Structure 1
Amino acid sequence: MIRATGLSLRRGTKLLLDTTDFVIHPGERVGLVGRNGAGKSTLFALLQGKLDPDTGNLDMPQSWRIASVEQEIHASTQAAREFVIDGDTHLRSLQSQRSAVPDTDGQLIAELETALADAGAWSAESRAEQLLAGLGFTPSQWMAPVNSFSGGWQMRLALARALMAPSELLLLDEPTNHLDLDAMLWLERWLAAYPGTVVLISHDTEFLNAVATAILHIEHQKLPRYRGDYDSFLSQRAERLRQQQAAWDKQTQESARLQSFIDRFKAKATKAKQAQSRIKALARMTALAPLHREAGITINLPEPDSMPDPLLRLDDVGIGYQLAEDGTRTVVQGVTLMVRAASRIGILGVNGAGKSTLVKTLAGELPALTGKLQPAKGLQIGYFAQHQLDMLDPEATPLQHMARLAPQAREQDLRNYLGGFGFGGEQALALVAPMSGGEKARLALALVVWRKPNLLLLDEPSNHLDVDTREALAEALAQFEGSVLLVSHDRHLLRTTVDQFWIVVDGKVEEFDGDLDDYRDWLQARNAANRALARSDSALDTSTGANRKEQRREQAQARQQLAQQRKPLERELLKVEAEMQRASTRLAELDARIADPDFYTEAQRDERPSVLAEHGELSKRNEELEMRWLELQEALETLGSA
């Protein structure tokens, strides 16, 4: 296991962790959460041995192999698949040794061939291809050079490379930032089957709910541990805060009562002895710190001055790019849709389908190739995308950015406005250069909405934002009276912000009749159908014309048989998931009760055995359910790849 005792960590002069303890058990999937700048990445560096603790100890098994995602990729002409296989450094070392051995050294060749077989050399290519396919790469891209991919896709390659490495400890820092929903769901399944220990940093609460079995929360330079997923962490933390507040209130009242007695009677001879005993009792009382709640971020979006309806019409619009050689590349065509007043629209589709191209066209950054865009009179668009963070002046302050945008506005009005985006007081005068990605995103958003848009076009606005700021953004968007078109991989933000969806698929944009769960099911069904079609086409290509009709009949029977085999597994999986949810909810209730000091009073003596027994039985049952869930997932995966 990993055990920290009395651990203190600094980054420069800033104290991040102060004599804290924590434990991570083998096989756990631990979510590491906390505000931006709290020390999550520094703790990762400590786990990787890149720095030493300032005080205390961090103990972990010496034999553990650690895998993590490289944050910088030196793009090369190396094929993507070979780049991924390079993640298995032990295998590559053996292959290098084998290639250097002369053919005359039979003994060494035999030893190396055995070692290569043990290292999975003969399945390495297929394992790398499975990782690439799961993360959204098509077979035609597997041998493409690394430098032919965009930055986001290169980060997917880095993730695949980390997953390829044999490891006992896997460290993942925001692994979903560059993934679409399809790849995210695949990664959730992969991590559920990973036999080692996972520590992951993520601000995606739904991803944490799907993956994490425990949470470590950096708070007030400590690292308390919570059992279960992110929702369980929230409920347990709320209960802990309630207990802390109650204990503080109780001690405050008791100390006031003791002090009152002392003040009244310490001068009287008849009460002097009692007063002295009260003084000793007050001195012995363990000082509890008052409850410090972290000040949250509040984002205030200005209300639009007008709201025409409809705001924007698209009539048979074609979307794409002008090419250097005077041609065009159409990404999406035949779009006929309408944006109504007060719409809340989420845009779905896999990476590369054309979501960002659609938003850029609606924002006017790209011209429509065909058809007509018909904006309403009075349409005011606010467009936010990640590239706008790079357009901020690193040597200017938030106040200077606002003054350039609105030179006629009073400084106090600009300060008040910036305060609504978390830049109050001295923060309005801080330089942009050392700001975190989340702070830059908040500033860019403030600049975008200054002109009171009635249509917000948001392309991945929550990247780099911590959980608190994501919640603030979701709340602000929910209260915004204008219309919103949102591209995001953050399922929680989509669920809490939008009420309808468009989907970009197969060169078209159309309304999607369903919610995110329906979209997940649609994706899985589509992927299964595509795999079946690929297998069918491959089989038909190798057959003779006389056998094709019979082959089609056999394939149809096989598909029907496969569906029949999957149905009982899928039904059981739903039942297991429902029971796991009930067990998790009940365990959270029992954990809160067991953590309550009143549980150990005399009044609860008769009830304690039954509560503890229920907790033990339910914990055991939950482990059995988790094992069965993994078995069912593996069985379905096997059928899906058959």
Structure 2
Amino acid sequence: MISVKNVTLRRGVKVVLDQASVTFAPGEKIGLVGRNGAGKSSFFGLLNGTLHEDSGEFSIPTQWRMAQVAQDMPETSQSATDFVIEGDVALLAAQQEVTAAEASDDGMRMAHAYMALHDAGAHDAPARAQALIQGLGFTAAQLDQPVNSFSGGWRMRLLLSRALMCPSDLLLLDEPTNHLDLDALVWLEAWLKRYQGTMVVISHDREFLDAVTQVTVHVDNAKLVRYGGNYSKFEEMRAEQMALQTAAMAKQADKIAHLQKFIDRFKAKASKAKQAQSRVKALERMEKVAPVLADAEFSFEFREPQNLPNPMLSMLDASFGYPPPEDAAEGTPPITIVQHINRSVLAGQRIGILGANGQGKSTLVKTVAHALVPTHGEISEGKGLNIGYFAQQELDVLRPHDTPMEHMIRLAKDTPAHMRGPGQSGTEQSLRTYLGTFNFGGDMVHQPVGTMSGGEKARLVLCMIVWQRPNLLLLDEPTNHLDLATRDALGMALNEFEGTVMLVSHDRALLRAVCDEFWLVSKGSVEPFEGDLDDYQQFLLDEARRVREEASAAARKAR
């Protein structure tokens, strides 16, 4: 059992835990939640031994083995498989003992060492490692590629694989879903449900927390408050508590009234299509937890578009991909990812874009956003189309050495006067006020973007998009660095947005709340997906089972 009793923990002069107490039983799956800066990562530091309590009592069974995702980005030419195998520290120790025993020429020691190596699972270690790697989205062809050949996001997946490879009694996961797409996320959920040890996870993905945790610990006002139940249950219980605090409720009355008006309006508008029923359920959840949502410190809204061309755009026998590499021979054709697309995007549509990693979701969005040009065919745009683009890599649309104020001054200069909304005069004071509505206050308006956190960069991109008054929003994984409160604010803003939304996200709660229909990018094509997200998850699981069965059949045939 893990016991935290009257613990005070300081980071510099800040008290992050003050006389906090909580206990975790063996085998419990705990979600650790709280606002950014509340102390979640500091509590992780207490659990993993990198921080120590200033007072109080903290104990963890000495025999427990701990696994967590390393923070340092790996730089090694090892193959992906060998790198992940090394995450099994018991196997590594057994291999080192075999080497030492063989050098000692001690027969008894060698016998014990070989037995320990067998018990550590040396015989199936490559297969275990490769199952983890492929589960997190790598292809069979990538298993032997060097770690250095992968981008940062894929190396983070290898670090996660390595942590899962490590035999453990306590597994600590800090935002494990940030670099995953939906198919890898579904696989990870299934794996964690089978995990036998105690798990503590920090995540801003509501459905992930609901799927893998049964206990929620809320870090709030330097205390650790334990709730029996997953994140949705925690929200409901906390809403009930807040509803009893009449003084607090009175302060929130206006926000709750606005929220209720929003819920009523969209419940009335929701269509009867199967996909849209997810939105109705999401709105019902919002009704239950209205006090919690109203208590959030951050909210925003998209401004009404000036016009709504219909159709917004049409893809005419279009193919999307990438230009040939710069060092390619003259005449080398472009690399096509998806082809023969004949689809239109209409005013008011809310499209969720689904598909496995590498199938072309981002390629589709980048091409519509003009970051890429079609490799064949054309995209015909409606008159007055105004695109707001959230790139998966925020720095694709931000300049790391510039400040939020410099970004906004440049944006204001590029925005014609007739396109500006109320309060958008473009003066430095009006821009400072506007940035403040997105929590960029004080000296933050002059802080270089490159020094900011992922969440702050994401908020700045949203801030810039709202200023532009788009009528088509292209959002490619907008929630990667957003906390739960900001994700809820984004979901509400998108639902109140009068224009069209095209959304790529692994956040199923956001997809359910916002999207009325889905497109599936798969096997070189873009087609409507007739089911809802539950159908899509089942589709992914069926596909994974089919691939496993084909691999097993090929292995048997090879033998």
Is this a same-fold pair by TM over 0.5? yes
- Segments of 4+ in structure 1 off by > 6 A? 246-249
Alignment of 1:362-377 (within 5 A): 362-377=368-383
Change (3 A) 1:525 1:332: same
Residue 168 of structure 2 is aligned to residue 167 of structure 1: yes
Change (3 A) 1:10 1:437: farther
Alignment of 1:419-438 (within 5 A): 419-423=436-440, 428=445, 432=449, 435-438=452-455
> 2:61 is paired with a residue of what secondary structure?
coil
Q: After superposing the two structures, state which structure 1 stretch, 495-504 or 134-143, moved more.
A: 134-143
Instruction: Tell me which residue corresponds to 2:58.
Output: 58
Change (3 A) 1:393 1:16: farther
Distance 1:520 1:189 in 2: 11
Alignment of 1:597-636 (within 5 A): none
Distance 2:428 2:493 in 1: 24
Amino acid aligned to 1:147: N
Any idea what the Cα deviations from partners look like across 1:576-599, whole Å, max 9, x if unmatched?
Answer: xxxxxxxxxxxxxxxxxxxxxxxx
CA contact (8 A) 1:389 1:441 kept: no
* C-alpha deviation, 1:31, in angstroms: 0.2
Instruction: Tell me which residue corresponds to 1:387.
Output: 393
Alignment of 1:550-561 (within 5 A): none
Change (3 A) 1:13 1:386: farther
Alignment of 1:67-146 (within 5 A): 67-100=67-100, 101-102=102-103, 104-146=105-147
Instruction: Tell me which residue corresponds to 1:506.
Output: 523
Distance 1:363 1:147 in 2: 30
Alignment of 1:155-554 (within 5 A): 155-245=156-246, 294-324=295-325, 325=328, 326=330, 327=332, 328-389=334-395, 392=398, 397-407=403-413, 409-423=426-440, 428=445, 432=449, 435-536=452-553
* C-alpha deviation, 1:104, in angstroms: 4.2
Distance 2:316 2:464 in 1: 31
* C-alpha deviation, 1:389, in angstroms: 3.8
CA contact (8 A) 1:389 1:444 kept: no
Distance 1:99 1:205 in 2: 47
Compare relative contact order (CA 8 Å, sep 6+) and give the higher one, 1 or 2.
2
Amino acid aligned to 1:124: A
CA contact (8 A) 1:298 1:422 kept: no
Change (3 A) 1:248 1:73: closer
Distance 1:520 1:358 in 2: 22
Any idea what the Cα deviations from partners look like across 1:38-89, whole Å, max 9, x if unmatched?
Answer: 1111211121111212222211111111100012222221111111110112
Distance 2:550 2:67 in 1: 36
Structure 2, unmatched stretches of 5+, are: 251-291, 414-424
Change (3 A) 1:246 1:364: closer
Change (3 A) 1:246 1:514: same
Any idea what the Cα deviations from partners look like across 1:148-188, whole Å, max 9, x if unmatched?
Answer: 22221111111110011011100001111112222212211
Distance 1:55 1:103 in 2: 47
Distance 2:36 2:105 in 1: 59
Instruction: Tell me which residue corresponds to 2:18.
Output: 18
Q: TM-score, normalised by structure 2?
A: 0.84
Distance 1:473 1:109 in 2: 61
Distance 1:62 1:539 in 2: 44
CA contact (8 A) 2:179 2:480 kept: no
* C-alpha deviation, 1:446, in angstroms: 1.2
> 2:519 is paired with a residue of what secondary structure?
strand
Any idea what the Cα deviations from partners look like across 1:207-262, whole Å, max 9, x if unmatched?
Answer: 1110111001111111100001111101111222234548999xxxxxxxxxxxxx
Amino acid aligned to 2:378: K
Change (3 A) 1:74 1:382: same
Q: After superposing the two structures, state which structure 1 stretch, 17-26 or 472-481, moved more.
A: 17-26
CA contact (8 A) 2:301 2:466 kept: no
> 2:99 is paired with a residue of what secondary structure?
helix
Distance 2:187 2:455 in 1: 27
Distance 1:14 1:228 in 2: 30
Any idea what the Cα deviations from partners look like across 1:441-488, whole Å, max 9, x if unmatched?
Answer: 111121133221111111110111100000000000000111111110
CA contact (8 A) 1:359 1:459 kept: yes
* C-alpha deviation, 1:378, in angstroms: 0.9
Amino acid aligned to 1:465: L
CA contact (8 A) 1:36 1:436 kept: no
* C-alpha deviation, 1:396, in angstroms: 5.2
Structure 1, unmatched stretches of 5+, are: 250-290, 543-642
Distance 2:360 2:75 in 1: 24
Instruction: Tell me which residue corresponds to 2:285.
Output: none
* C-alpha deviation, 1:391, in angstroms: 5.7
Distance 2:25 2:362 in 1: 42
Amino acid aligned to 2:523: D
Distance 1:75 1:507 in 2: 33
Instruction: Tell me which residue corresponds to 1:268.
Output: none
Distance 2:555 2:400 in 1: 54
Change (3 A) 1:504 1:246: same
Distance 2:248 2:154 in 1: 51
> 2:154 is paired with a residue of what secondary structure?
helix
Q: Percent same amino acid at aligned positions?
A: 51
* C-alpha deviation, 1:304, in angstroms: 1.2
Q: TM-score, normalised by structure 1?
A: 0.74
* Count of paired positions: 500
Distance 1:361 1:239 in 2: 46
